[in-house]
Amino acid sequence: MHKGLCSHKNMSLADALAKNLRTRRGDLTQEQFARKLGISRPTLTRLENGAQNTTIKTLDQIAKSLKVGVGDLFQ
């Protein structure tokens, strides 16, 4: 069976991104992680809470900062 972008079939893309970002942040503060990603802390907060959709441009920026593919942000 093909595995989709989300590892859980009932998880939305926003939820998958939120979970992935929280995991990848590790011990960094939101401020430190946001700087690393090149986004504002309030934007990171909304993304980590699944409360904000984002643009392809921002997803690409985050992926490049983390040295992963955009699809990896949703797994």
Three-state secondary-structure class, residue 10:
coil
CA dist 48 and 14 (Å) reads 9
CATH of domain 13-74: 1.10.260.40
70: how many CB neighbours lie within 10 A of its CB?
A: 13
Q: 19-31: per-residue pLDDT in tens? A: 999 999 999 999 9
CA dist 14 and 50 (Å) reads 5
Alpha-helical (H) ranges within 26-55 are 30-37, 41-48
* Both tokens assigned to 38: 């090149």
Q: 43-64: per-residue pLDDT in tens? A: 999 999 988 888 999 999 999 9
Q: Where are the domains of the chain?
A: 13-74
